[in-house]
A and B are shown apart, each in its own frame.
Chain A
């Protein structure tokens, strides 16, 4: 991040006074500091009360066995060991989450870039197309999930449609094979969010670059890869990171689409990290085990974010580097 922390304080003010070096602050500076802490107190209280405190508590709870009714029982790392070695559902949930993230995020990005590139051309009715593509991202997830649950019912509209062309549609949400693809289709419906961001990034690319490429005889395809793509990599990267974090935390759609209140779906085929965590905590009152799952989820997200940042050096292009 270029946002350096020390850029802000003096930025708006003129010269820094010599008094800065003094160990003892002037009354004026002391008053300013006091106001600073006063002003940030809402965040500070929230940080301690709703984040830091709960985080510490979460570590402790994950090392105990606790149903919140009887006193917690210290079990050390047993919950983590249970998740990693004994509980087949944990591995299934982890695999399903990977599967969902590994397909839905790149697929959404490819579609997003593709559509943005098409919309970036001189198309008549661009605004209308853009609206159609962006509209799905405005629909609350619950409403989306309701429509898809309806569409994907065994005798629902999608299978009717497939029936017309002679395909015997699968049972989608009731089938262990098809529930994950169904969730991926649902998430791709929201690809328009990335499209709009990418489109505005494409718009910032200087026309001169294309003119130069054109003179050199580069085809539009070549121009896309040599000019457009490198210039939008920062936005692709941003969407990749946000998409990955979001995908690993998938919950509401799964909860709503899974048939008959069975959160894991058929044969746990749609059991995700967060649905498992939710089920363990709020259905079975296994607060210790659920907290351990939460920390494992955190580690998974952290590892993938770090990997993404590591590889970013190789493919994300920042203009400032060249200058």
Chain B
């Protein structure tokens, strides 16, 4: 029997980490992720985990310590937000390129400046090309579930990439909601042991990690790394299937909600999906059908699957909780539309909304503006503006 509990997204993340019982957790506190290592350090102090907790002096050091621990042959985890993630930047790429399946909780927060501690996705979106697998979570339950699946995905021999489990800072990280936890022994059996093929502490087979890689070999290693991300797609689905068997909760690359018979769709990440589903239900009751497509896996980007799912719609709003500053649209917009174009899915009309920056609240009335716009596009067969803002004072 699973355990019914109530806790915040941060605590749910820490509980998942407790059940995973990694060898090393190295972290530096930063709002709103601070509670994750804080909860975890109490588990260490109470002796309920075997982990070595490394209280480092910066996020650059936190991830560097994780790289060292993981290369040595251990499981290493960390948590951060916003500028903490930015300070890890250099090591993000090194962790991925060294094929070290470190797992990180990224509690999404706006990247300064202007200085802001509230939620948007500018931190993890900036790290989207660093080679990390990125899973996004609508609520505390998904943050917990994604965390439990992360090691299985990253450590798979065909993948060997670090994994970032994202959730919305404050909105889900600090909101206490009901949750269903899985028993410790079941989690332990599911996550399994980390058995790297090569590791630094293996005295029988000494190795060198992270050597200078010239023009003679670097390209081959990047090509190989890219294949890890390609392979991750299959592994993510296999792990989700196994997770379904122990939890009864089904996960895919994305969730399509109220899609049946809908001509319009909204695509988004993390907690706003909950608000959008609520409005979608309300519209459905009025006979107006609109689908909510919540992307769970952003890296690897499920381009083919998304394009296939989107071809049935007439109008699609792609929602970005971060600016791309490319003067053309946010990162999710450009990736979704390029996936559609490459697959020859050209009939849906697409619009982009930049929303919720710096923690600007996203209300049901905001979502209604988007839904109404989509119906207007379908009725008029015209898009007057592709690149838009939602909730900014004009």
Co-assembled chains A and B: no
